[in-house]
Amino acid sequence: MEVDIMVRQVQLLSRACIALVLGFSCNNLVQYPHVLKSSKEVNTFNKLVKYKGEVFTGYLYEMYPESKDTMFVNFYNAGEKDGVWRKLYPSGKLKEIRYYKKGIKEGKYIGFFRNGNKSFEYNFRNGEYNGEYKVWRADKMLLRVSNYKNGYEHGQQKIWYPDGRIKSNYIIKNGRRYGLLGIKNCINVSDSIIN
C-alpha cells in the first residue's frame, strides 16, 4: 500500500515537472520579424544586413511581381545569413534550398527544375566546395560529377555532353591533373586568323 502511494507521488511529481518545463518553453518562443527585402529600410549592401539602421535578426522575403507569390524566404541572425534558405518557383514548388551558419555556406545546396527533378547538388564546408558536386539535365541525365576538397577539385572529375558522350574524364591527384580534359579548343591560331 505504501509503495503504491509512493509510486503515485513520483508519477504526479514527474508530470508536474514536465508540465512546468513545457509551459515555460512554449512561452519563450521567439517571434522573428518578416520584412520585404526590397523595402527601402533594408540595407543588404554591407557585410551585415541592417533594417531601419539596426543589425537585423529575422526573415527577409521577396514576392514575384506578377503573381505576388513568395520568391524566397531567408533568415538572418545578427545581420548574417543563417539557417535554411529557400527559393521557390511562382507555382510554389521548391527551386533551391541551401544552408548557412553564421554567414558561411555550410552543407548541401540543392537546385530543382520546375518538374521537380534535381538540377544540381553541391556540398559546402566552411564556405568552400567540399565533397561531391553534381549537375543534371531536366530529364535526370547526369551532366557533371566532380569532387572537391577545401574549395579545390580533388579526385575523380567527369563531364558529359548533352547527348551523353563523355567530354572530360580526369583525376586530380596531389594538385596535378591526369586524364582527358576535353574542353580546350584545339584550333591552330594561324588557321583561325586566316579564316
Under the banding of pLDDT at 50, 70 and 90, the label for residue 46 is confident
Residue 190 pLDDT greater than 60, yes or no? no
Given this model, what pLDDT does residue 27 score? 47
Side chain identity at 101, as an amino acid letter? Answer: K
The better pLDDT of the pair 182, 53 is held by: 53
Residue 127 pLDDT greater than 90, yes or no? yes
Given this model, what pLDDT does residue 188 score? 44
Under the banding of pLDDT at 50, 70 and 90, the label for residue 137 is very high
Given this model, what pLDDT does residue 66 score? 87
Backbone angles phi, psi at 79, to 5 degrees: 85, -5
Given this model, what pLDDT does residue 182 score? 76
Given this model, what pLDDT does residue 185 score? 56
* CA–CA distances in Å: residue 75 to residues 49, 100, 123, 135, 161: 11, 9, 20, 26, 38
Coil vs helix vs strand at 67: coil
Instruction: Tally the C-alpha atoms within 13 A of residue 158's C-alpha that lie toward its C-beta.
Output: 11
Residue 125 pLDDT greater than 70, yes or no? yes
Q: Which residues contact 151 (CB under 8 A, 6 or more apart)?
A: 128, 129, 130
For residues 137-141, average pLDDT = 94
> If 0-12 CB within 10 Å is exposed, 13-18 middle and 19+ buried, where does residue 74 land?
buried
User: From start to end of the chain, where are the E strands?
Assistant: 34-36, 42-43, 50-51, 54-55, 58-63, 70-77, 80-81, 83-88, 94-101, 104-105, 107-112, 118-125, 128-129, 131-136, 142-149, 152-153, 155-160, 166-173, 176-180
Given this model, what pLDDT does residue 47 score? 84
